[in-house]
Amino acid sequence: MTSIIELDRIEKRYGHTTVLKGVSLEVAEGEIVAVIGPSGAGKSSLLRVVNQLERHQAGVLRIAGVEVEPDGGSAVHALLRRQVGMVFQSFNLWPHMSALHNVMEGPRTVLRLPRAQAQERADALLERVGLGAHRNKYPSQLSGGQQQRVAIARALAMQPRVMLFDEATSALDPALVKDVLDVMTALAADRMTMLVVTHEMRFAREVADRIVFMAAGEILEDAPPRTFFSNPRHPLAQQFVASISPHS
Amino acid sequence: MDFQIIVTYLPFLLKAAGMTVVLSVLSLAFGMAIGLGLTFLRMSPNRFLSRLAWTYVWLVRGTPMLMQVFAIYYWLPTIGILMPPFLAAIVALSINASAYYVDIFRAAILTVPSGLVEAGQAIGMRPWQVTWRIVLPLAVRPALPPSIGQAINAVKNTSLVSVISVQELTATSQAIYSSTYKIAEILGTASLIYLTITTVLALLQTWLEKRLGYYTVR
């Protein structure tokens, strides 16, 4: 299988703080990779380097086999981002647009699709995330879980080759988490390539093909969920697994 | 109070008020356009452009508008730039307004959460697309109250171009009271006319704030 995402010894610093210390990771087409670990491990930074919302200082990033230079310019980064969908922890829906227009915006403005075609695509996606009835509502009229599902539809509207989820359920009321996870699980079932930073261990265990465990800017473990959760090797991973699953 | 004098001269005052409105509308349109352009320079990552815009704002805001009017009408001709009073008035008023709009627009743009910008970047929008589709539409609402405030200032500032013989409301009022000596009547009426114009702006603000309430919870 071909790698969609390829990180080779990526380093990322903010001032004197190094948040990614030479991270290497490959994600193959159709693979679902969950990135877990304690806060401050560099999980979000890793995700944000993949679509160049953060630029790396060293190492090589390849998306679908093409190297992406951190100083490649906005045109290059815009083209990269068309292939890489991102879902944020805080939804980040545009408050001045209805759910439908949030989803149509990418197809209209970036892909320059005709209005009818963009709307058709947006409607189908809103239907798919279970929000067809809410298409004309503004973000402020939707619950957090509904907003996040619109945000997923917005990312999917670009027909990306890979989806990044940056703690997509962390800001949600516990009762609303399930609806979002259901959408993510359905996406995984369709074999959408996904790189998922999450604190939802059940989702990681049941849906992901691989668990990537990060701490202090490094990937310490990369294993199938069963192996990782039953037999973590690195001491920090053992500690982490013990702290999150006292019952299992 | 001599009401007869007000009735007699009201048509002249209203005609002059028309000039005040024309000056206000044109200088606000140009001032806001120049101000928006300078806002982009001011917020540019290029330090030279940013400092250039900062310097413009510093100079224009930091000197009396009256001096600016004199400079444009009396001093610019000495370096070969000659303008009729009306044009000089528009130029002076526009420059003055633009300097104030830079920080109004900049402050409004800074209220747009960076996550909304990133969401645009994340779907592959180019920087100008993020600006026009996301940042500016979202900056309109926070910019509105101070923009109207500045527009009200701009209306009152038009009185200063009376010094270069533009026949707007203040110049006409002065001409009338210096021949009739009815200062209270004439300036009182002129003030009421200014108040009427600025009231329209205040009401416009209320109306727009309601119309733009789309992203508050309804």
Q: State pLDDT tens for residues B43-62.
A: 999 999 999 999 999 999 99
Q: What band does B218 get if pLDDT is binned at 50, 70 and 90? A: very low
Q: What pLDDT, on a 0 to 100 scale, did the predictor assign at position B100?
A: 98
- DSSP assignment letter at B167: -
Give the full edge-to-edge strand order of the sheet including A17-28. Answer: A17-28, A3-14, A58-63, A66-68
Question: Over the stretch A66-102, which tens digit does the pLDDT of each residue have?
Answer: 999 988 888 889 989 999 999 999 999 999 999 999 9
* Cα A40 from Cα A34, distance rounded (Å): 16
Shortest alpha-carbon distance between residue A167 and chain B (Å)? 14
Shortest alpha-carbon distance between residue A158 and chain B (Å)? 7
Between residues B184 and A247, which one has the greater pLDDT? B184
Chain mean pLDDT for chain A: 94
Q: What pLDDT, on a 0 to 100 scale, did the predictor assign at position A245?
A: 61
Chain A CB contacts of B217 under 8 Å are 140-141
For B115, which residue in chain A has the nearest alpha carbon?
A92
Structure tokens at A171: 């800001």
Inter-residue contact A61 to B88 (CB < 8 Å): no
For A106, which residue in chain B has the nearest alpha carbon?
B123
Please tell us whether the domain made up of A3-244 is placed in CATH 3.40.50.300: yes
Chain mean pLDDT for chain B: 94
Shortest alpha-carbon distance between residue B130 and chain A (Å)? 10
Inter-residue contact A128 to A189 (CB < 8 Å): no
For B122, which residue in chain A has the nearest alpha carbon?
A81
| Interface A:B, Cβ pairs < 8 A | 79
Q: Does the pLDDT at position B214 exceed 60?
A: no
Q: What pLDDT, on a 0 to 100 scale, did the predictor assign at position A247?
A: 53
Q: Does the pLDDT at position A246 exceed 80?
A: no
Whether residue B119 lies within 8 A of chain A, CB to CB, comes out as yes
| Lowest-pLDDT choice from A117-131, A176-190, A233-247 | A233-247
Question: Over the stretch B69-87, which tens digit does the pLDDT of each residue have?
Answer: 999 999 999 999 999 999 9
Contact check, Cβ <8 Å, B119/A94: yes
Q: What pLDDT, on a 0 to 100 scale, did the predictor assign at position A227?
A: 94
Calculate mean pLDDT across residues B129-150.
Answer: 96
Structure tokens at A106: 């990418």
B57: enclosing H helix or E strand = helix B47-62
Q: What band does B2 get if pLDDT is binned at 50, 70 and 90? A: confident
Contact check, Cβ <8 Å, A94/B116: yes
Give the closest of A77, A82, A88 to B119, CB-based: A88
- A55 phi and psi angles, rounded to 5 deg: -100, 140
CA angle A76/B112/A82 to nearest 5° reads 25
Residues in chain B: 218
Q: Does the pLDDT at position B217 exceed 60?
A: no
Q: Does the pLDDT at position B211 exceed 90?
A: no
Calculate mean pLDDT across residues A152-162.
Answer: 97
Contact check, Cβ <8 Å, A85/B124: no
* Cα A106 from Cα A104, distance rounded (Å): 6
Q: Which candidate in B112, B116, B123, B134 is best for mutational testing of the A interface (most A CBs within 10 A)?
A: B123
Q: What band does B1 get if pLDDT is binned at 50, 70 and 90? A: confident
Inter-residue contact B5 to B73 (CB < 8 Å): no
Residues 138-167 of B with CB under 8 A from A: 138
Percent of the residues in chain A that have a pLDDT greater than 90, as a whole number: 88
Inter-residue contact A46 to A59 (CB < 8 Å): no
Calculate mean pLDDT across residues A117-122.
Answer: 97
Residues of A with CB under 8 A from a CB of B: 51, 53, 74-75, 77-82, 84-86, 88, 90, 92-96, 105-106, 109-110, 138-141, 151, 154-155, 157-158
Calculate mean pLDDT across residues B32-37.
Answer: 98
Q: Does the pLDDT at position A1 exceed 70?
A: no
Closest by CA position to B152, among listed B98, B195, B106, B101: B195
Inter-residue contact A29 to A4 (CB < 8 Å): yes
Inter-residue contact B94 to B31 (CB < 8 Å): yes
A223: enclosing H helix or E strand = strand A218-223
Between residues A72 and B128, which one has the greater pLDDT? B128
Closest by CA position to A196, among listed A170, A234, A175: A170
- Virtual CA dihedral for B7, B9, B11, B14, nearest 10 degrees? -110
Q: What pLDDT, on a 0 to 100 scale, did the predictor assign at position A133?
A: 96
- DSSP assignment letter at A233: -
Q: What band does A7 get if pLDDT is binned at 50, 70 and 90? A: very high
Q: What pLDDT, on a 0 to 100 scale, did the predictor assign at position B212?
A: 83
Contact check, Cβ <8 Å, A53/B121: yes
Please list the residues that pair with A63 across neighbouring strands: A5, A66
Which sign, positive or negative, has the C-alpha torsion B105, B110, B112, B114?
Answer: positive
Q: What pLDDT, on a 0 to 100 scale, did the predictor assign at position A162?
A: 96
Domain count, chain B: 1
CATH number at residue B36: 1.10.3720.10
Q: How many CB atoms lie within 10 A of CB B198?
A: 17
Contact check, Cβ <8 Å, A94/B123: no
Contact check, Cβ <8 Å, B116/A110: no
Chain B CB contacts of A153 under 8 Å are none
Contact check, Cβ <8 Å, B129/A95: no
* Pairing of β A3-14 and β A17-28: antiparallel
* Cα A165 from Cα A36, distance rounded (Å): 12
SS3 A141: helix
Burial class (CB in 10 A: 0-12, 13-18, 19+), A57: exposed
Q: What pLDDT, on a 0 to 100 scale, did the predictor assign at position A180?
A: 95
Q: What pLDDT, on a 0 to 100 scale, did the predictor assign at position A244?
A: 79
For B117, which residue in chain A has the nearest alpha carbon?
A92
